[in-house]
Amino acid sequence: MAEAVERNLEDSLNEILYMRKAKLFKKSEINEIIRKRRQHEYALQKRNKRVLDFDAYITTELILLKLLRFRRQETSERRFLDKIERSIISRLVRLHRQLCYRFQSRIDVWIRFIEFCKILGRHISVVRLWNRLLQVHGRTEPRLWASAAAYCLQENTTAKIRSNMRKLSTETSQLREQHKKLKLELQALTRYVNKKDQKKIENVISDIRQTKLQLSEATMDLARDRRLVWDRVCLEAIREARRLLTEGIALNPECKLLHLELVKLEACSTDFFKTRVLDRVDLSVEGDVDLPTDADTLRKRRKQLKRLKKAAAQDNARFMAEVTEDITFVTSGGALKLVMESVMERWPDDLETLESLQQIVSAVPNLVDNAAQTQLLSKLQELQNNPKQRETASEQTSSSNEDDLRKRLTNYTTQLYETVLCDGLSVALDLWNSWFMKDEHGPMKGDQFRFINPEIPEAVGLLRIRLLLHSLNVSWSIVSQMDTEVISDRSSRYRDTEAEQKTRIWLDSLATSPWGHLSPEFWISYIQFEEKSGDCTRIPAVKWRASKTLLPEPYNRFTALLNSDDQA
């Protein structure tokens, strides 16, 4: 413990030396800073880590930063900013990272780190933190997807535009300086030309003129990029926000907030494509630019107008090469209409959801189809006029959906039993995959079983049947090898390990779904899988994951079931 503390204090030794050189603190104050840092470092090295210890260390470093700012204002000392303040900021970032790593289950810790990076202006770090936060809490807190999409649309776009404009301005200034230098050299060479060195100088002049032309073309390209920066960044932000919201809806299909946020996003994208993209479709071909041409005022400026038309056509063609969306479908409101219809079909009897949808539609009436507006208004009027019918309809739909799901799951179990008796275990496993594994790109993307309510007994029974089929298939393969008295070759071993890995990956994906939070039977089945047909050394890790993932009441049931199994 003492070695780690002293190592961390030695890392801040240069910072203390520069504080003494700048004469910002007295010797007693520096000793007090070192004493407090040593105290905080010892608190962080304890076995039982606490959030309060990290918070205390972070607050002392922030107070030190404020005190440094006040002392610099008083003494007008501006030396060693990169040595003192940057060192403190790097220590604060390290503390926030350790805090997020130790306490990943707490969302407030992640949000504080994100806000701290926003204050520092590190927007790339903010995007990485949002991605990591969504990986950890995306299945339990669907509101995080909406806030991440809002950040991509608003703050990240402005930060990207500012950084791009700053880069382009520096590059254009550098090119202009080079252009001026070349111009002065060219003038000097053309003035003082001797007859002896005339050929050499002419070659040099031709080279300089070629480089000058290249520099002028580069400046034109930079100016074109500067004109297209805003539209490019906005288009990328809309795509990124749509990706985040669709992934959040795929993981949380019953979240109404994400569906409504997707409606808002599609309205924004429709407006953007109408105002900024649709005009470029007709103007992307050279010569089709509609500029105001008054005969009296623009006769002298025909050459300038031709240049403007050519530049506008080139800009439009360059931008339209990056657009991959169906422009006519988006600008006509087709995407917005599809999202609205999906919300109305999913929650036809939910008055609050439809009212919020009506508020969104009323804000952009010019982007929505009239038929969709009238359909939404008629549904709202029916629900407002008949509140009792709405309540009974919602209860009936929920009960009927649950009953239908139970019947479907019982039919699946009977079909599995029949296929095992008639066709065998491998055919039964293929039948299971045809029901729930509909995508071949991995179990996380195509697993439909993760969206089933784990509190339904038929679903738990179907899970146990799936694991039982796997264990029986493995045991039958071993028995067949022993009967034939043939040494198992590499292909059969590879098949067994591949099936085991697929089943384990599927169980890991279920652990990140509501099954991992609500179902203790799932974790018992996972332990039995590793005990019977998997790897026994993984059982302690599975128990630890269950203790970290399950909610308090399901965890009590899990411990009771685990103790009863151990006693049996």
Average pLDDT over residues 390-408: 64
Q: Report how far residue 170's alpha carbon sits from residue 163's, in angstroms, rounded to the nearest whole number.
A: 11
SS3 436: helix
pLDDT at 506: 82
Phi, psi of 437 (to 5 degrees): -105, 85
> Which DSSP category does 447 fall into?
B
Average pLDDT over residues 232-241: 91
**In terms of Cα–Cα distance, which of 457, 432, 469, 468 is closest to 519?**
457
Q: Find where tokens 């009296």 sit.
A: 296
Of the ranges 159-168, 251-260, 395-404, which one carries the lowest mean pLDDT score? 395-404
Q: Report how far residue 390's alpha carbon sits from residue 397's, in angstroms, rounded to the nearest whole number.
A: 10
Q: Report how far residue 197's alpha carbon sits from residue 509's, in angstroms, rounded to the nearest whole number.
A: 78
DSSP code per residue over 482-542: HHHT----HHHHHHHHHHHHHHHHHHHHHHTSHHHHH-HHHHHHHHHHHHHTS-GGGHHHH
- β-bridge partners, 447: 437
Structure tokens at 457: 């007994």
Residue 88 pLDDT level (bands cut at 50, 70, 90) = very high
More confident residue, 143 or 400: 143
**In terms of Cα–Cα distance, which of 100, 148, 95, 87 is closest to 123?**
148
pLDDT at 45: 87
495-554 tens-digit pLDDT: 456 777 888 888 887 887 788 888 888 888 888 888 877 778 888 888 888 887 888 888
Q: Report how far residue 355's alpha carbon sits from residue 551's, in angstroms, rounded to the nearest whole number.
A: 34
User: In this structure, which amino acid lies at residue 534?
Assistant: G
Q: What is the pTM of this model?
A: 0.65
DSSP code per residue over 114-150: HHHHHHHT-HHHHHHHHHHHHHHHTTT-THHHHHHHH
Task: Identify whether the C-beta of residue 56 lies closer than 8 Å to the C-beta of residue 43.
Answer: yes
Q: Find where tokens 């899990």 sit.
A: 558
Residue 339 pLDDT level (bands cut at 50, 70, 90) = very high
Q: Report how far residue 431's alpha carbon sits from residue 257's, in angstroms, rounded to the nearest whole number.
A: 35
Percent of the chain that is helix, strand, coil (3-state, to 5): 80, 0, 20
Percent of the chain residues past pLDDT 70, beyond the cut: 79
Structure tokens at 502: 């697929």
Residue 477 pLDDT level (bands cut at 50, 70, 90) = low
- β-bridge partners, 437: 447
Of the ranges 203-207, 393-397, 426-430, which one carries the lowest mean pLDDT score? 393-397
Q: What is the dihedral of CA 186, 188, 193, 196, to 10 degrees?
A: -90
pLDDT at 3: 81
Indicate whether 315 pLDDT > 60.
yes
Average pLDDT over residues 13-28: 88
pLDDT at 400: 62
Give me the numbers of helices (H) and strands (E) for the chain, helices first please.
Answer: 26, 0
Please state, rounded to an integer, the average pLDDT across all residues of the chain.
Answer: 80
CA 38 to chain centre: 38
Indicate whether 52 pLDDT > 50.
yes
239-271 tens-digit pLDDT: 999 999 999 998 888 889 999 999 999 999 999
Q: Find where tokens 């299909």 sit.
A: 253
Indicate whether 148 pLDDT > 90.
yes
Q: Which residues contact 11 (CB under 8 A, 6 or more apart)?
A: none
Q: Find where tokens 């992640």 sit.
A: 110
